[in-house]
Structure 1
Amino acid sequence: MVGDSALGEIVVDGEGMTVYMFDNDTQGSGSSSCEGQCAVNWPAVTTDAGAPEVEGVTGEVGTITGVDGATQVTLNGWPLYYYIDDAAPGDVAGQGVNEVWWVLSPEGERMAE
């Protein structure tokens, strides 16, 4: 769904937690490049069923098989992740980390600083 943050309207999960995309992934490749310690710090956004229902998000929501075999949610072909240091809904501590992690607009576009 869409949530308000210090960065404006961004894509969040059903609990209001911010989701991110990773520049090192290849858009539309159907795979995630975030493995090992990366996957510990940036856990995949997963779903138990097919593509989740979304509110206010106009980008294309889909799924891939994530690095751990779980069904990872994608937006406009970008695998989605959480950031381990985001503690509460609306936190955006992961924005711009190492200049490769970004929040997404409701249209599914990367919101670089």
Structure 2
Amino acid sequence: MSRKRAVTLALVLLVGACATNPEISPRPAGFATDSETSPDDKMELQVLRSPNLGEVLADHEQYTLYRYDEDTTNPPKSNCVEPDCTLKWIPLLTAEMKTTTGIDAALLGVVERSNGTRQVTLNEHPLYRYAHDEKAGDATGDGLGGVWFAVAPNGEKARR
């Protein structure tokens, strides 16, 4: 069975389970639900070079991270809180940040979500992973809806 087919089957099974049990939600490995911190409890971010976008921020598994233009900064607040949003755009949750090479540590922070979990921010922008990125380095969520963008190491929209 191909990896894509296996992932699709797993998602179908998880979505079916979600319909009968609201406590279950599909999440990529290493990502927490809105009711727990990440399994590692420490998140290390990294900078990758995207052929189309230049430098982008990635998680510990080298998956591209995104920012949402509908979120607010000063103070930071996530506006992606409904299940139809958080199942596609998975909040990057953590208890503690590690120092990360290539990223100004002063730009890293956390914001408390409405349910009490802590979401990682960069330059006050809450960070997310796109559930439809199939492999490390994908950036298929960039530009979606005109409001979701891969994030550069300074917290701005990634652009060449």
Q: Supply the distance in 1 between the matched residues of 2:81 and 2:158 (Cα, whole angstroms).
A: 23
Structure with larger Rg: 2
CA offsets 1:78-101 (integer angstroms, 9 cap, x no match): 000010101111000000000000
Of 70, 92, 95, which residue of structure 2 is paired with 1:24? Answer: 70
Instruction: After TM superposition, give the deviation of residue 23 of structure 1 in Å.
Output: 0.3
- Structure 1 residue 42: deviation in Å? 0.3
Consecutive aligned runs of 4 or more in structure 1 exceeding 4 Å deviation: none
The answer as to whether partners of 1:102 and 1:112 remain within 8 angstroms in 2 is no
TM-score, normalised relative to structure 2: 0.64
Aligned pair count? 112
1:1-113 alignment to 2 at 5 Å? 1-6=46-51, 7-36=53-82, 37-47=84-94, 49-58=95-104, 60-111=107-158
CA 1:24–1:112: 2 relative to 1, 3 Å: farther
- State how far apart, in whole Å, the 1-side matches of 2:137 and 2:116 are: 28
Identity %: 36
Hey, which of these two has a bigger chunk of helix by percent? Answer: 2
* 1:67 positional shift: 4.0
Structure 1 runs not aligned, ≥5 long: none
**Partners in 2 of 1:34 and 1:112 — Cα distance?**
23
Q: Give the TM-score normalised by the residue count of structure 1.
A: 0.89
Opposite residue 5 of structure 1, the aligned amino acid is S
Gapped regions of structure 2 (runs ≥ 5): 1-45
Distance 1:32 1:108 in 2: 15
Task: Name the CA distance, whole Å, in 1 between partners of 2:49 and 2:87.
Answer: 26
Higher relative contact order, structure no. (Cα contacts within 8 Å, ≥ 6 residues apart): 1
Change (3 A) 1:67 1:17: farther
Q: Residue 98 of structure 1: SS of its match in structure 2?
A: helix
Letter in 2 for 1:40: L
Q: Check the 8 A contact 2:111/2:120 in 1, yes or no.
A: yes
